């Protein structure tokens, strides 16, 4: 009968494959990005992901197991979707928003997986490994937040294109000029009233 440790090692193998795929995909995503800020985020996350691969190898060792990957269907599918976005939106102002979307889908998958691994490591009485996964979770969460901020500050607006930009900055209805109130003296014989035109 399989135990929580078996499940843990199975998920660990899944994430080991996932991180190695991400390390291969990020340079391609950085190259496709037209935003320098997004390129920088991808390059920073590449360094983190390479570190995660090494951390996972240490975790395998701490459980007396050799590091091995098991095809991560989820990450593989998301990265294939990323290839489709790159191909379909190359040269488009929407490319960066599309790349952020793919990157955040991957981040969310990683956060869910590392969250489970952290909890299971705790149940398996390996506090050191649980702490390592907590650090990785914080990095993934920070990366996700940085992607959200960049999308909101720049990339989503850029994706709307020049026509939409002009539409947002130019009011569709011109404001009316403020009416002038003309006051003229009342005709003789009418005391104290004034006519407003």
Picking from 192, 74, 78, 57, the residue whose alpha carbon sits closest to that of residue 132 is 57
Q: What is the pLDDT of residue 91?
A: 86
DSSP annotation string for the chain: ---HHHHHHHHHHHHHHHHHHHHHHHHHHHHH---HHHHHHHHHHHHHHHHHHHHHHHHHHHTT--------HHHHHHHHHHHHHHHHHTTSTTHHHHHHHHHHHHHHHHHHHHHHHHHHHHHTT-HHHHHHHHHHHHHHHHHHHHHHHHIIIIIHHHHTHHHHHHHHHS-SSPPPPPPP--EEPPPTT--S--EE-
Domain spans of the chain, in order of start: 4-169
Please, which pLDDT band fits residue 162 given cuts at 50, 70 and 90? low
Whether residue 132 has pLDDT greater than 80: yes
CATH architecture of 4-169: Up-down Bundle (1.20)
Give Cα separations from 107 to 20, 29, 82, 97, 130 (angstroms). 14, 14, 13, 15, 19
99 close to 32: Cβ distance less than 8 angstroms: yes
Q: What is the pLDDT of residue 163?
A: 39
List, for residues 41-70, the tens digit of each pLDDT value.
Answer: 999 999 999 999 999 999 999 999 999 999
Please, which pLDDT band fits residue 161 given cuts at 50, 70 and 90? confident
When the pLDDT of each residue in the chain is averaged and rounded to a whole number, the result is 87
Instruction: Tally the residues of the chain.
Output: 197
d(C-alpha 23, C-alpha 102), whole Å: 15
Prediction pTM value: 0.80
List, for residues 67-108, the tens digit of each pLDDT value.
Answer: 999 999 999 999 999 999 999 999 898 999 999 999 999 999
Picking from 174, 195, 165, 166, the residue whose alpha carbon sits closest to that of residue 183 is 195
């Amino acid at each position: 009968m399989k135990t929580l440790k078996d499940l843990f090692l199975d998920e660990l193998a899944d994430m080991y494959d996932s991180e190695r795929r991400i390390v291969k995909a990020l340079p391609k995503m950085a190259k496709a990005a037209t935003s320098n800020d997004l390129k920088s985020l991808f390059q920073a996350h590449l360094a983190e992901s390479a570190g995660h691969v090494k951390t996972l190898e240490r975790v395998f060792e701490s459980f007396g197991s050799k590091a091995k990957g098991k095809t991560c269907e989820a990450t593989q599918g998301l990265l294939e979707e990323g290839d489709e976005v790159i191909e379909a939106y190359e040269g488009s102002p929407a490319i960066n928003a599309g790349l952020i979307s793919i990157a955040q889908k991957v981040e969310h998958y990683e956060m869910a997986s590392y969250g489970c691994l952290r909890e299971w490591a705790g149940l398996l009485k390996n506090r050191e490994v649980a702490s390592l996964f907590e650090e990785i979770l914080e990095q993934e969460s920070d990366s996700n937040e940085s992607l959200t901020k960049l999308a909101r500050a720049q990339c989503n607006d850029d994706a709307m294109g020049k026509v939409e930009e002009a539409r947002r900055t130019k009011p569709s209805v011109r404001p009316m000029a403020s009416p002038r109130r003309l006051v003229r003296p009342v005709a003789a014989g009418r005391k104290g009233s004034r006519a407003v035109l």
